[in-house]
Amino acid sequence: MNKENLLLGKTMHFIPIFIFAAGWEILARLAGSPLFPPISAVIQEFYSLLVPNGLLVHHFTASLIRVITGFAMGSIAGLLVGILIGWNQIAERALSPLISILYPIPALGWLPLLMLWVGINEILPILIIFICSFFPILYNTVTGVKSVDVRFIKAARVLGASDSQILWRVILPLALPNIFTGLKLEAGMAWRVIVAAEMVAIPTGIGVLLMKAESIIRVDIIMVCLLILSLMCLSFEKFFHYLEAKFTHHWR
């Protein structure tokens, strides 16, 4: 009975998607407009971009490398600085005012300045994603570290734990849910930001493919790119959700 309920629950997830796809197909065919292609045409275009010439793979790979590089660098830096600020009061007093000033600036707001500083090259989108990832993960890490109940810290000290043991064995494990929340949110945001960053004279990437499709009024290609972005945002979020469950299930 439990297996049947589990199977039914999984099936229910796909019913809204099927209804949406069927409605899209019917409405598009009734409209008969090149600006609103049916989903079957979008899937066909996806295949033609993927298999015969590998154009989609070429652009997608470029974006994927940029996202992973920028996101990894921003996440590690945000995590380390967040731990430092959350754990050390001197670092908090020294760095918090500066971060409070810089954090409200949108990641894309740095684009004109970075174009002048580093030029229009591969470093530009990576830096934008770095900035996009750094500040939110830093804030989630600080929040997680500071939200740890002081009773756990006092208990660890009574048992003879050193400061480093308290940090690595008490504070960070308890702060993991907040840290993973930041990672899940910013993994999707990195894919949203990369599109805008790649539209500025970068020769490859999903953002470039979107711009080229818009210039020749190929709505089917635009929808393929949007579908790819949606799937990647979802995949990254699910990946970090899996890591969160894996690393926290034994004590939560």
Residue 145: inside a domain: yes
pLDDT in tens, 48-99: 888 877 889 999 999 999 999 999 999 999 999 999 999 888 999 999 999 9
1-10, 223-232, 235-244: segment of lowest average pLDDT: 1-10
Instruction: Give residue 7's pLDDT.
Output: 54
Structural domain total, the chain: 1
User: With contact defined as beta carbons under 8 Å apart, do 205 and 59 qualify?
Assistant: yes
User: With contact defined as beta carbons under 8 Å apart, do 116 and 124 qualify?
Assistant: no
3-7, 72-76, 80-84, 245-249: segment of lowest average pLDDT: 3-7
- Whole-angstrom distance between the N-terminal and C-terminal Cα of the chain? 28
Residue 32: inside a domain: no
Helix (H), strand (E) at residue 11: helix 2-31
Residue 39: inside a domain: no
Residue 60: inside a domain: yes
Residue 110: inside a domain: yes
Residue 23: inside a domain: no
The parent domain of residue 105 ranges over 52-248
pLDDT in tens, 209-218: 998 998 898 9
CB atoms within 10 A of CB 122: 17
Residue 167: inside a domain: yes
Indicate which CATH number applies to the domain containing 86: 1.10.3720.10
Instruction: Give residue 64's pLDDT.
Output: 94
User: With contact defined as beta carbons under 8 Å apart, do 51 and 41 qualify?
Assistant: no
Residue 6: inside a domain: no
Phi/psi-derived region of residue 88, left when phi > 0, alpha when psi is between -120 and 50, beta in every other case = beta
